Chain A
Amino acid sequence: MTMELAKRVSGDVTIIDIHGRCTLGDETERLDQELKKVIEGGSRKVLLNLTELSQIDSTGVSIIVATYVSLRRLKGEVKLLHPTGRVQTVLAITHLLQVIPNFEEEEKAVASFSATRSATANQ
């Protein structure tokens, strides 16, 4: 299998661990379906753990963007955890790292969702 997905939950944040390669074909279709399922299931705070993602192409990038747009419409958020190497390069040149919040540490990433909610609540 070229890509493996695992879902876990930390508080009200759904974390999707993506391992391997996410390029046009079965892999991107599975990621797309999984993320749609997560959103349809009610999750509004989604953290994509990219630590073990070795390669991503334009289709993989597009699925992350589509998830970002879908969640934003539902007043939700998607954030990225620890992209590295070529994945980081691809996300940087497509400006995703400037648009979607990204973090080096999972703890801080998860905490940031609460911080956003508190900030919004206080406004």
Chain B
Amino acid sequence: MPAPCIAPGVSVSQTALLIDSGPDLNDLLNRVLSKDGWNIDRAANHEEALEIAKRDQFDLIITGRKTRGPEDIEFLRKIRGSRPHVRLIILADEWTPGDVLTAMREGAFSYFCAPFDPETLAETVRKAMNEPCWDDGIEVLAATPEWVRVMARCDIETADRLVLFLQNVRDPNISEADRADIVTAFREILLNAMEHGGHFDPSHHVEIGFVKARRAIICRVKDPGAGFSPEEVRHAANAKTPEDLLSHVAVREEKGMRPGGFGLLMARKLVDELIYNEQGNEVVLVKYLEKPAA
């Protein structure tokens, strides 16, 4: 049985092991980690990193960008074998959608495909420090590039990690615009499921499935709640015209709810079909792809 995970804040100081990624990325990571008070150790490559990690304990390890996807996965397995709760962020110049999914299944904290967005990378490093007990948040039940099934714990941090993984499954047959639409719609539906179905209770989980067909992406999200009727929800914007856009604001104020209610509207506009089950706790999103996959 693995040892219980320890919140980073519990340790006296936090130490990161950085594997060489070249001057630009090294500088960026140095700036982010130093600013947030991390101690930094360095390794030239995976082999050296494994040696160092056997000897010393680290809270965070960031791989170098120069290695290929399968090498990163092998490194992840070895590291997790000896240090099961270490947060490992993989940076990859060369990767496949399958590599990203395998990394998620094997317990990477996050995965970044080149070109790297410095802002998102910096944010993820900070989250790695602040997120306690992260590694049981995502359970991958099935993962081929065409069929993914995941259970996700009902908390915002887990939702953000999952969405970041999916953003990096950059299938070359899916256009950037389609990918952005799917990821944005999925994030809105996922957060709705976690908030309204799971009450952001980390003991609850949302069930997620993705299927990539030749001309469509299909996503299914099932929450643990009792369900609702989308037609009867008055606190959500479901505007067909700008004139009735604001009518739900008064309802939310009356109920003492935080500003919100646009998630369903956004998701509906970004995918081609959004279908709820009878109970209203399970939804399927369908996005037809701009260009058929080869």
Contact = CB atoms under 8 A, between A and B. Distances in A.
A20 B180 CA distance: 17
B242 A24 contact: no
A24 B156 contact: yes
B168 interface: no
Interface residues of A, number: 26
Interface in A63-121: 63, 65-66, 68-69, 86, 90, 93-96, 98-99
A94 B262 contact: yes
Given A57-B188, A58-B263, A65-B246, A94 B237 contact: yes
Contacts of A11: none
A51 interface: no
Nearest to B236: A58
Given A58-B266, A95-B242, A32 B259 contact: yes
Interface residues of B, number: 25
B245 A95 contact: yes
B246 A61 contact: no
Interface in A13-33: 20-21, 24-25, 28, 32
Interface of B: 119, 123, 156, 180, 184, 187-188, 191, 237, 239, 241-242, 245-246, 249, 258-263, 265-266, 269-270
4 interchain residue pairs of minimum CB distance: A62-B259, A58-B262, A93-B269, A58-B263
Interface of A: 2, 20-21, 24-25, 28, 32, 54, 57-59, 61-63, 65-66, 68-69, 86, 90, 93-96, 98-99
